[in-house]
Amino acid sequence: MILGVHVIRQLWIQLRLLGLLSLPVAAAIIAVTVEGQTAPDPGRLTLAIPFAVAAVLSAVLIGTGFTEEIRSGAASWLVVRTIPRSALIGAWLVVPSLAVLVAFALAGILAGLAIPPPIAQPDPLTIVIGVVASAAPTIPLAALALAVGVRASGRMTTLAIIGTAALVAVPLILVGDAVIHPASGYWLVAGMAPAGRPIAVGLQSIGLCLALAAVTWLWAARRFARRDL
């Protein structure tokens, strides 16, 4: 609880909390605006793309926030006071990720209801799971940003996450909805997921994101444990 408050306070001081909460809202506004100016029956592709960009930028904010905490000496101050390093880096993953998921859920549900789907309006549960699944890739990306940010500067962390996201996006776009992967939530939001089982696709995509985040976080925690503060 104390670490959670500390992380929120640090993000607020660094003005990154405002960015984490406003990115999904901005993505939803852009999606609704662009959808109103495109050709008829665009589905929700205009919602999936801004959400993907917002997820990457959210991970960058989390990773660079942790880098700034190390640089400023705040992380060293906590460790000296017997705060476990694993607990600190865990709080930096869990607390901002929860904030991002809530912001994505609220913004995505409103935008999803405003943008017409390709065929028929899905039920609210499908919309919620689709939105959460589209926000879930933020968690493994944030874990990767923490792992990089342990030893790199904020600029290098930003370049590493954006570059990784760009490289991963190419094969995922080529694969599409042929297989379920951590980014399947975007196909679900865009209305391109396999018909008849959108909820299953969303839940499996979320599970893959959490598993990938757990493995990446273990790597980040190991790197942080070996770093001199």
Domain parsing of the chain, residue ranges: 2-225
- The phi and psi torsions of 125 (rounded to 5 degrees) equal -60, -40
pLDDT single digits (tens) 131-170 = 888 888 999 999 999 999 888 787 888 888 888 888 887 7
Could you tell me the two tokens for 34?
């662009």
Q: Is the pLDDT of residue 46 over 60?
A: yes
pTM for the model: 0.85
Is the torsion defined by CA of 204, 221, 82, 93 positive or negative? negative
Q: For residues 201-205, give the mean pLDDT.
A: 86
Q: Hey, how many other C-beta atoms are within 10 angstroms of the C-beta on 71?
A: 12
Cβ–Cβ under 8 Å, residues 105 and 55 = no
Task: State the pLDDT at residue 9.
Answer: 87
pLDDT single digits (tens) 69-111 = 888 888 888 888 888 888 899 999 999 999 988 888 888 777 7
Name the nearest CA neighbour of 59 among 137, 135, 142, 139.
142
Q: Is the pLDDT of residue 122 over 70?
A: no
